[in-house]
Amino acid sequence: MLHYLRIWLASARYTVVRTMMFRGDFIVWALVELFWMTVNLLLISVIYRHTDSIAGWTKYEMMLLVGTSMLIQRFLMGFFWSSLFEMGRNVRSGYFDFFLAQPGNVMFMATTRKLDPDSLLNAVVAASVVVYSARQLGLDPSAGQIALYVGMLFCGLVIHYSILVLSISMVFWLTSAQGIEGTYFTLTEFSRLPREAFKSVVTQVLFVWLLPVVVISNAPARTLIDRFGHDWRWIAGPFVFAALWFALAVFVFHRGLRRYASASS
Amino acid sequence: MFSVLEKYRQAFLIGLQSNLVYRWNFAVRGFFSLFHLAVVFILWGAAFEGSADIGGFDLRQTLTYFVTLLVLQFFVSAFNEDYQISEEIRNGLINQFLLKPINYFAYRFSIFVAARLVSGALVFVPLLLALPVIGEFLTFPLDGWRFAVGIPAVVLSAMIQFCIAYIFGMLTFWFLEIQGFVILSMAIESVLGGQIFPLDLMSPDLFALSMLLPYPYQMYFPAAIFTGRFGFEESLWCLGIQACWVGLLFMIGRGLWARGLRRHTAVGG
């Protein structure tokens, strides 16, 4: 474990040095992400200019939900996105050989090599949205609630990571998985919606159970908002989904790895 | 006159052929747009639970606006024209146009029109498949003037979209990478172009101010005409502003091309 932490810290150090070399890029991308986050919040405030509730959720409850969704998204982008994005291309080009020769688990090496400091910086903004909304709602969460919230954020991150690894592992069979990663982000739009908004059976099965993108953000948000009570299904759900999706991702990745034949030289 | 147009007709036909090669790409993109449409339907459906009327429009009118926007997006949006132009400048591929009696703007515009005709036609495939589900939510006012004003507005929207992409492409003469500019602009366009919410839901002052910018004329304006969010006089007035923006953006694009060429170095033989 300590060995992997050391490897990861070396990668993080490399990322920081690289970011310092391209400071302009870092600032532009941080601004782009910040702007997109503002767009999401703007949508909420425009809708609430004309209505008091969305599926029974008040304005600041919705902001807390959107903030939570953004927070998980920023962590996903910050810790894994660049590596996962490159993985598909590396398998196709043969550069994936580089990871096979490294001193550690291939999935860990290939998916954690690069970090995005701009996304991690914006995670602070997303966290501020959550804190601000909680204050506006007059919430006073206990230490247990906060710990549960953090645990669920971690589960959300694991679920997102696993689904992305699964999608990109398709490259071992299809050779080109270009576009799959981008498409995945369309699905994450659902995580900014409250569970109560999903009325039809089809959308419930698809986005709550099959692809738990709704559970990922709704479960932690509900943990902080007292009026939802403490339903054990909402508490256990993220942990169960995270374990299942991670196991599936590991299985499919290693199955795919067996098919990897490098590229001709 | 016709011989001048002939070369652009050929460029248009080549553009049509090369875009038909990527027909599945456009169709898949259209299919995934349905997921975005599903988010819109769920979110606005839930918002209308708390209020039967939002900004003077009911749920069906609001959802019709977003479906119209989706169709317009595939018919008029510049998808990657800015990157293509940027690449042609960076790799020196524009050199060939400097030696031939062909206008680079008109050449790229001919290809853009061909690409949008292909993508616009293909977005109807997923929409027709989704029609049994979304059909009951669609409601269009059928006044004749909406077509008379709306169709020129769509044409001008496409020209604004192309001119903005062209201007971003021209920035390559000064900057090596334009990706940051393009994505930042996309974010602004998505809000002020009415893709996130109908602009008339903003406060009246902000709405009036935004209508002076080019962005609402990229998509919001034609969608607002076809879905009954704009009246006749208002539409004519805005059509005038839209035409002014087309003229202004065209001039900026021309100016950047002329200035950029002074910095350009053509190497090789």
Question: How confident is the prediction for chain A on average, in pLDDT?
Answer: 88
ipTM, two decimals, is 0.84
| pLDDT, position A201 | 87
CA distance B94 to B102: 11
The pLDDT value recorded for residue B183 is: 82
Interface touch B49/A55, C-beta < 8 Å: yes
Q: Confirm whether A169 is domain-assigned.
A: yes
CB spacing of B43 vs A29 below 8 angstroms: no
Residue A265 in any domain: the answer is no
Confidence of residue B31 (pLDDT cuts 50, 70, 90): confident
Encode pLDDT of B105-161 as tens digits.
Answer: 999 999 999 999 988 888 888 889 889 988 889 999 989 999 999 999 999 999 999
In this prediction, residue B20 has a pLDDT band, given cuts at 50, 70 and 90, of: confident
Look at B38 and A55 and tell me if their CB atoms are within 8 Å: no
A108 part of a folded domain: yes
Picking from B32, B50, B197, the nearest residue to A51 by CB comes out as B50
User: What's the domain count of chain A?
Assistant: 1
Identify which of B75, B31, B32 has the alpha carbon closest to the alpha carbon of residue B223. B75
Q: Which residue has the higher pLDDT, A63 or B20?
A: A63
Contacts of residue A176, defined as CB under 8 A and 6 or more positions apart, other chains included, come to A88, A92
Q: Is A244 on the interface with B (CB under 8 A)?
A: no
pLDDT tens for residues B66-81?
A: 999 999 998 998 888 8
Give the residue-averaged pLDDT of A144-166: 94
Least confident of A157-161, B43-47, B131-135, B177-181: B177-181
Query: Do the domain assignments include residue A264?
Result: no
Please name the member of B46, B50, B184 whose beta carbon is closest to the beta carbon of A35. B184
Q: Are A39 and B32 inside 8 Å of each other by CB?
A: no
Q: What pLDDT shows up at residue B198?
A: 95
**Per-window interface: A 77-136 vs B, CB < 8 A:** none
**pLDDT tens digits, residue range A161-215?**
999 999 888 888 876 655 566 667 777 888 899 999 998 888 888 888 888 888 8
* A74: closest CA of chain B, how far (Å): 17
Check A189 against B49: CB less than 8 A apart.
Answer: no
Region B252-266: mean pLDDT is: 91
Q: Where are the alpha helices (DSSP H) in chain B?
A: 2-21, 23-47, 59-76, 81-90, 95-98, 104-122, 124-134, 144-170, 179-192, 204-210, 220-226, 232-263
Half-sphere exposure of A88 (CA within 13 A, CB side): 21
**Mean pLDDT of the region A146-172:** 92
- For residues B21 and A109, the model is more confident at A109
Return the residue in B42, B53, B134 with the most chain A beta carbons within 10 A, the one to mutate for interface testing: B42
Spell out the residues 6+ positions from residue A123 whose beta carbon is closer than 8 angstroms to its own: A71, A74, A75, A78
Confidence of residue A229 (pLDDT cuts 50, 70, 90): confident
Range of the domain at A80: 2-259
Is residue A188 domain-resident? yes
- Beta carbons of A189 and B180 less than 8 Å apart: no
Share of residues in chain B with pLDDT > 90 (%): 57
In a domain? residue A44? yes
- Which residue in chain B is spatially nearest to A199 when comparing CA positions? B42
Residues in A closer than 8 angstroms to B176, CB to CB, are none
Q: Which residues of A touch B190 (CB under 8 A)?
A: 39
Interval B44-60: pLDDT, tens: 999 998 788 898 899 99
Residue A18 has pLDDT above 60, yes or no: yes
> Touching check for A35 and chain B: CB below 8 Å?
yes
pTM for the structure as a whole: 0.86
Residues of chain A found within 8 Å of residue B136, distances taken between Cβ atoms: none
